[in-house]
Structure 1
């Protein structure tokens, strides 16, 4: 899986903007892809419109500017974190969707397990905004398939302050995964950077 990931990420249309110096240093980033409430199309019947940034607009803004991430956008947080890790640290940071492995070939849960096993470091992120149910399910699945040593050394769970969950407590108590908090994007970036440096 490691070689397949490296090859797929080299040609991924989502990562073409950045040259990296450490392609073998795979860093898997997992978190919610959508803020809530869901971004639905405005109802033309009711004349309802939204002024919130759509996912597509957020990605376009990020590619066009160097602005800070919009705290209302869960996907943007992951994209900005991936971009900065690749640009500033040279590591092969990626999201689950970047390698474009079809779900009919490998389901999402299996992908997360295999991506984690193939990566040097894995970071699960639970921001205060966004639906974190998927993150909880994914990390539980991953924890069941890795050894205690791999979980202690390679996996990090970062939850934004004000995110409380019995599952987060279980991650630390039951599987001994390192769990920490962040209060802003810079704090998140510094924590991930330190984890990658320690693992590498």
Structure 2
């Protein structure tokens, strides 16, 4: 298990996140934080209101996707009782944050790998309305960091603990390859309620697998397979 300031990351997360009904069931939620705005890309003399700007389940709000993802996390925490979080929630600074801090900094990829390693479930949410610059790369970096897929050796984390939820209309060759390259499930959704139902089913199935002993405890994943490479 990776450490932060000498403490296992799983312990850091449980200490820094607010308590839920199931504190020990950590769910790391990843996705784009910025909402796509059509007026970013059109000339000044083009009227956005005359264009088809339908951006799916998360495209009708003026809120940034970070706020939308935070609402999903809050729903997971209050309705399902799992200890869900976004990368920004544990308040561990990354190297690109300009503010002075006495805390140890992490680069964003190492941070995501550490959060994923420490979590019982890793959920990727990819809305049509999201600006995905770099997100697909981060997904690939996280999944490849656990030796998932058809390569030799044992995966450092069971692929059943990961799930990609992609909104209808999101086109990405990288995402298309995820089930084949990494043996990680990819599900498409059309509405926010459909997404929530799919996530709930995924987590319920994962919890049943843990209780039956079909999956090793999260701590054992790292102890058995060694430390993740940077």
Cα RMSD over matched residues?
2.4
**How many residues get paired?**
167
CA deviations 1:155-181 (Å, max 9, x no partner) are 000100011110011211111110010
CA deviations 1:83-138 (Å, max 9, x no partner) are 11100111100000000101131111111111011000000111000112332111
Q: TM-score normalised to the size of structure 2? A: 0.67
Go from structure 1 to structure 2 and tell me whether the alpha carbon gap of 1:28 and 1:38 turns closer, same or farther (over 3 Å shift): farther
Flag the structure with larger Rg: 2
Q: Give me the whole-angstrom Cα distance separating, in 2, the residues matched to 1:39 and 1:199.
A: 41
Q: TM-score normalised to the size of structure 1? A: 0.76
User: Which of 198, 209, 219 pairs up with 1:191?
Assistant: 198
Stretches of structure 2 lacking an aligned partner (at least 5 in a row): 1-8, 45-56, 96-104, 149-154, 208-230
CA deviations 1:39-66 (Å, max 9, x no partner) are 99xxxxx9xxxxxxxxxxxxxxxxxxxx
Contact 1:124 1:135 (8 Å CA) reproduced:
no
C-alpha displacement of 1:38: 8.9
C-alpha displacement of 1:151: 4.8
User: Which of 56, 61, 78 pairs up with 1:87?
Assistant: 78
Stretches of structure 1 lacking an aligned partner (at least 5 in a row): 11-18, 41-45, 47-67
After the TM superposition, which residues 18-97 of structure 1 pair with which residues of structure 2 at under 5 Å, given as runs? 20-37=20-37, 71-72=60-61, 73=63, 74-97=65-88
Q: Which residue is equivalent to 2:126?
A: 126
Q: Give me the whole-angstrom Cα distance separating, in 2, the residues matched to 1:27 and 1:33.
A: 17
